[in-house]
C-alpha cells in the first residue's frame, strides 16, 4: 500500500509509503492522500501525525516524469487540485504534525507547510528545487513559505533552490522543533502536548492566529496557479525536466 492510516490511541497516524520513489507525489498518490485526509476527519482523532516510510525521505516532491508533455490547461488544473488537497490538511479541525525524516523537497515541503506543526529529524533536508527545473512551486509553497519564514528568506530559498538542513530549518522558523528516535513516536509525543486540551478552543486559537495574516490564502493560491502555469509553458521548463530525466545539467536559455 502506498500509504497507511491508523489510530494510535487518540492520534491518527498517516505514513506515506512509496519508498522506491522516495515517497514522491504522483497524481494518483495525491488523490489517495486526499482520501486519507477525508478519512481523518471521520476518525474522531484529536491530532494527526504525518511522516514518510523509510529513512531517506518524508516526501521528495512531484513525480517529474508525469509532468513532461502535459497540456498547460491540464497542468493548471492539477496545480489547483494539489492546492485543494493540501488545503484539506490545513483546514482539518485538529492539529497536524509533519515529522520530516530525510528529504522534503518541492511538493513534499509544500505538504509539510500545510500542516500545523513541523518537526525535523537530524537527517532532514528541506527545499524548493523547482527553479532548477525551470519551474516554481505550485502546491502552495509561494504562499505558505513567506507566512512561515518571512518574505526575504522565502525569496532566497525559492529563487536559489538551495537545500537547508534540520538545524538551519529550526533557526529560520521553517520547523518548530528538532526530533530524534522514531519519527512516529516523536510525532506522537508532540501531539500529546495538545490532545488533552479542548478541541474547539484549540481550533479557535488557530483561527485567531491565521486570521491575522494579511492576504487571504485562497486569493494567493489562484495567483500562484496562474504564474506556475506560465512557468510550466516555457522552453526552459521542458529543458529542466528533460535534463532531470536524462540525468544531466540543464541548459537554460531564458525562453
Which residues carry out catalysis?
A: 110, 130
Instruction: Give the strands of the sheet with 47-52, arranged side by side.
Output: 3-8, 11-16, 47-52, 95-100, 117-121, 177-179
Q: 514518510: which residue's cell?
A: 52
Backbone angles phi, psi at 178, to 5 degrees: -95, 150
- Please give the grid coordinates belonging to residue 175: 520547523
Beta strands 117-121 and 164-165, pairing class: unpaired
DSSP secondary structure code for residue 21 in this structure: G
Check: CB of residue 142 under 8 Å from CB of residue 84: no
- Please give the grid coordinates belonging to residue 100: 520530516
Check: CB of residue 122 under 8 Å from CB of residue 166: yes
Amino acid at each position: 500500500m502506498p500509504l497507511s492510516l491508523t489510530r494510535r490511541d487518540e492520534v491518527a497516524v498517516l505514513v506515506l509509503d512509496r519508498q522506491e520513489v522516495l515517497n514522491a507525489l504522483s497524481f494518483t498518490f495525491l488523490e489517495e492522500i486526499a482520501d486519507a485526509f477525508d478519512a481523518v476527519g471521520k476518525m474522531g482523532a484529536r491530532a494527526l501525525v504525518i511522516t514518510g516510510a523509510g529513512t531517506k525521505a518524508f516526501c521528495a516532491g512531484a513525480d517529474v516524469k508525469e509532468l513532461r508533455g502535459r497540456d498547460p490547461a491540464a497542468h493548471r488544473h492539477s496545480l489547483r487540485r494539489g492546492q485543494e488537497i493540501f488545503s484539506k490538511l490545513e483546514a482539518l479541525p485538529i492539529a497536524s504534525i509533519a515529522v520530516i525524516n530525510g528529504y522534503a523537497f518541492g511538493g513534499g515541503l509544500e505538504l509539510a507547510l500545510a500542516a500545523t506543526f513541523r518537526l525535523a529529524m537530524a537527517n532532514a533536508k528541506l527545499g524548493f528545487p523547482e527553479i532548477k527545473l525551470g519551474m516554481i512551486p505550485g502546491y502552495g509553497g509561494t504562499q505558505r513559505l513567506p507566512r512561515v519564514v518571512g518574505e526575504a528568506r522565502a525569496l532566497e530559498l525559492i529563487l536559489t533552490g538551495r537545500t537547508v538542513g534540520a538545524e538551519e530549518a529550526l533557526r529560520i522558523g521553517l520547523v518548530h522543533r528538532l526530533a530524534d528516535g522514531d519519527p512516529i513516536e516523536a510525532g506522537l509525543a508532540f501531539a500529546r502536548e495538545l490532545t488533552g486540551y479542548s478541541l474547539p478552543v484549540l481550533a479557535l486559537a488557530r483561527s485567531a492566529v491565521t486570521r491575522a495574516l494579511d492576504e487571504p490564502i485562497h486569493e494567493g493560491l489562484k495567483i500562484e496557479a496562474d504564474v506556475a502555469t506560465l512557468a510550466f509553458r516555457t522552453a526552459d521548463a521542458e529543458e529542466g525536466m528533460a535534463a532531470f530525466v536524462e540525468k544531466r545539467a540543464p541548459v537554460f536559455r531564458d525562453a
